[in-house]
Structures are given as structure tokens and as C-alpha cells.
Amino acid sequence: MIMASGLRHTATHAPSLKAKRLGVLTQDEAIVLMRTDCHVCRSEGLASRSRVLLSAGERDVIATLYQVDNDWLAEDEAGLSEAAWNRLQVADRDSILARHAPTVESLADVRRRIYGGRLDERAFRSIIGDIAGGRYADIHLATFIAACSAFPLDLGEMTHLTRAMAEAGDRLSWAAPLVIDKHCVGGLPGNRTTPIVVAIVASLGLIMPKTSSRAITSPSGTADTMETLAPVDLDLARMRRVVETEGACIAWGGAVRLSPADDVLIRIERALDIDTEGQLIASVLSKKIAAGSTHVVLDLPVGPTAKVRTKEAAKSLSEHLVAVAGAFGLSARCVLTDGSQPVGRGIGPALEAHDVLAVLQNVPGAPRDLRERAVLIAGAALELSGSAPRGGGEAMAAAALDDGRAWAKFQRICEAQGGMRTPPRASLTRAWTAQRSGSLSHINNRKISRLAKLAGAPDQKAAGVEMHVRVGEDIVPGQALLTIHAEAQGELDYALEYAASNADMFGIGV
């Protein structure tokens, strides 16, 4: 309507810079560094923390800008974090365009919820789409999480959020009417029941295409442990072939993007140490729905250093999990388990694999608690799917372990995934002993996990911690409480230093 007096102005400076890879790891957030005095910052009116749309050819990414007043970065360069670099797929000195990022419309929905409004399905879909698309900065993610926590999600909202998260990524489907799955809510060190449960239920004819994660902050994820026993890096076609022949797989989920927004939200929830029911439910169920599961058993460890701390919290969580799952036709059953101490003996990829093998092979002295938990969960899966009568699942599961069917099935799954492997043993071990006598009153799960990580897990497959005691035992001075396994003297030293200054990881009463 209104033009400059007789003149039309064209952009005299295209907002283009040369890409520079900085190798900066930021987890997900894309970051770009530009000189404060570069022509793009000036012409676009950009300031530090501005959200900037970077584009190179067909690709683009929204990044957070930090300005630089220092000539280690040239005036014509845009320094990219790995997240930005990988999304743009450029080479050093390639031209990239930088402009003010467009408004992220779904942030208005987040603000609406902050001001007391509930959100409908459309709103959750647009929020989750923007999160999965990398369009939220970390402070936006934190705000969304807090807004859904301080004013808790109702069942309808949990359902909308779950659906939006499931739909934001890949969807799997299986040529089977009944697809079983399991999930443990809240990491308990050594709770590596999955390979055993999969072997049991598949040996009894159920379909269980299990995708698992690698460790993010824990000493081992199921995929890390399984990788010491067989290849887990299967593409979707390979996964399908394994499931077609054996009825099950135990694969790393990295080949498929199930509920990608969940990974982004979990990172921020972890940093904030906020974990509310609504987000937990959407996180767990969206992945199961996207994975094409029809039945799921959920392991809820309850204990003072576990994620779920009381029976009451576990009961409310169970009810809501089952209700939201039901809205998607997903049959869910929750099993409350003891979350007071680590499970089995080994903590770390290979150490846990040895425990898994011992249970599957019925070795004398196999960790009883790990076997019992696997039987409990496999039994629940058998009952939930109608393969066993109510109350008869555990006996059926135990029988499949006892008579070697589960072990035979496990070996066939490993062969189908590329061949069975022998988990390694660490070259260095050092026992950690008690100084005084008394009854072992508690074990701090979090400190044991940290110790295993300092020893090198999960990067060093054989590294970790081997536990020798359980809560309730009487301890005598000089008794070995645990053994640290490491592949390098430096890591063994780090772990021993940590143990020396964290003696309270074991509580010994008189």
C-alpha cells in the first residue's frame, strides 16, 4: 500500500556466510556463531540468542545465535554446532543463508496453556511437530514441560500428547494380530530382563519385535548389553526378516525414528529433574504405539532411589497408563517390582550379558533376582496375550527357561541377527571391601551407576561393576562388596577415587 518515495529497494547484501564446522556438541540444540560485526547480524538486526533460520540448498535448520567479538571466527563465517552441521549437510566454506527465524506458531499454544487454557489435539500435534522438527530452543522446551507440570495434564490431554508424539515419527506395522512389548519405567542398574523375556515369550510362540536404546546417562542400555551377544544395528528390512523367522528380535532402535520428540523432551526433563506423570505416560506409550505393539507389560520398580518412590504413586501411574493405552487399543499391564537395589550382579554391557547368559543357561548360581523378575514379566506378557490363564503365566515362563526352550530360542535370534558373540572380560579388576561389620541396610542405585560409568561403561564394553552383596546381608570387615572391572588403569583409578569419597553408596547398620 505504501512505498518509499518513488524508489524500490532491493536487498543490497544477501545474508550469506561461509559454513565452518566447530565440532561443538550441544545434544540437540542447533547453535550458530557469527561475528557481531558481520553483515548478516547488521542487516538482519540479529542479537545474541536470536533464533536464526539457516539454509543451504533444500535443507534448513533453526539455530540459536551466539555472537562473537573475537577474530578466531572470520567476519564471513558461520560457526556451526554438530546439530546444525548435520542437519544442513554442508562442507566447510559452503555458502549458507541466515535470516530471522519465522515465528513458531505453536509457541502460542504453549503460552495459552501457561495462561490456564487446556490444549486440544490440534495444539499438541503442532507443538510436537515443531519439537520433532527442531524448531524449539531449549528454553521453549523447558517452558512446555513446566507448563504441562505446574498445571497437570488431564487424561484427554495425555491422550492427545501421546498420539501427537507417536505420529511425529516413523510407524512400524507387523503382519501379526498380536504384537507383545515390554518396558521398564525408570532405570534400575542391572535390570536387564529384556533379552530373557524376549527369549521366553518367543519360544512360546508370541511375536515380540523389540527395539531398545543405548545408554544415555546409564552404564548400559539394553542395546549395549545385547551388542556384546549379537549384532543389534539392524535396518528395518533385517529386523523384519529376523522377526519373520524367529518371531522376535532384540535390536537397537536407532534404525527407526520412533517418537523422536520424546528424545528431545527427555533430555530437558533430565536436566530439570522434572518427571511428571503425563509426560512419562506419553513418552512410554507413544513409542509402543509407533512400534506397532498391541500388548505391553510395564515394569515399575518402586524404591527410594528409583523413579517411582511409593506404592501409591505406582498405583496412580498404573491406572493412568492403562487408561491412556486403552484409548489406542493397546492392552497394558503394569507390574510393580522391587526398586531398592541393583538387579543381578553385573552393571555394564558385558557384565550384564554374563548375567543374562547365566539365567538362560540355568547355570548354578545364576542371579536369582534377575531370573525371578524376567519370569514375572514374561508371565504377565503370556497372561495379557491370552497364551496363559490368569495366574498361570509365571509357571509357563519358568518352564520355558528350565527346559532350555528359551535358551535355544535366544541362540537362534542371535544367529538371525548376524551371529552370536561371547561377551568380553575386563583386563583389570579390583575388589572394594568393607571396613566394618554390620547389616547392609541400603545401596544407592545412582552412585553404583556412576561408579560403573567411571570405570568405563558403556564405551568399554567389559567395564563396570560386579556386585557381591544384597540388602539385608550381614557384612564382615574385609568382605568384598563389589569388584570394579576396567580396561585401563586410569579408569580404574578414577572409579576407585570415586568409591573412596562416596563410601555412603553402601549403608551398613549395627
Nearer to its own copies (CB atom), residue 266 or residue 327: 266
Q: Map the footprint of its own copies across residues 103-122, applying CB under 8 A.
A: 107, 111, 113-116
What does DSSP say about strands 331-338 and 295-302: parallel, antiparallel, or unpaired?
parallel
Q: Which residues contact 454 (CB under 8 A, 6 or more apart)?
A: 491, 494, 495, 498
CB of 357 to its own copies, least distance (A): 29
d(CA 11, CA 14): 6
Nearest-approach distance from CB 5 to its own copies, in angstroms: 5
The contact mask relative to its own copies for 2-31 (x = CB under 8 A, - = no) is xxxx-xxxxxx--------xxxxxxx---x
Asked if 387 interacts with its own copies (CB under 8 A), we say no
Which residue(s) pair with 355 in the sheet? Answer: none
Strands, E assignment, 303-453: 331-338, 346-347, 428-433, 438-443
Cα separation of 191 and 343, whole Å?
5
Q: Give residues 36-75 in contact with its own copies (rule: CB under 8 A).
A: 36, 42-43, 45, 47-49, 66-70, 72
Q: Known catalytic residue: 263?
A: no
Instruction: Please state the closest distance from residue 302 (CB atom) to its own copies, in A.
Output: 18
Nearest approach, Cβ of residue 142 and its own copies (Å): 4
275, 299, 402, 493: which is the annotated catalytic residue?
275
Closer CB to its own copies, 427 or 433, in the complex:
433
Residue ranges in 77-106 that form contacts with its own copies under rule CB under 8 A: 81-82
Cα–Cα distance list, 234 to 122, 172, 227, 237, 248 (Å): 34, 14, 11, 8, 13
Buried residues in 393-406 as b, exposed as e (16+ CB within 10 A): bbebbbebbeeebb
In the complex, least distance from residue 369 CB atom to its own copies, rounded to whole angstroms: 23
Cβ proximity to its own copies: between 181 and 269 the closer is 269
Cβ closest to its own copies, residue 307 vs residue 409: 307
Q: Does 132 bind its own copies (CB under 8 A)?
A: no
Site for its own copies in 196-235 (CB under 8 A): 217
Half-sphere CA count of 19, side-chain side, radius 13 A:
24
Residues 326-365 that bind its own copies (CB under 8 A): none
Report how far residue 278's alpha carbon sits from residue 206's, in angstroms, rounded to the nearest whole number: 30
Q: Residue 440, interface with its own copies (CB under 8 A)? A: no
3-state SS class at 484: strand
**Bridge pairing between strands 59-68 and 31-35:** parallel
By CB under 8 A, residue 433 contacts its own copies: yes
- Options 453, 457, 485, 487; binder of its own copies; rule CB under 8 A: 453
Distance of alpha carbon 199 from alpha carbon 214, whole angstroms: 20
CB of 389 to its own copies, least distance (A): 41
344 contacts 391 by C-beta, under 8 angstroms: no
Quick check: 430 binds its own copies (CB under 8 A)? yes
Of 393, 432, 443, 457, the one binding its own copies (CB under 8 A) is: 432
Give the catalytic positions in this structure: 275
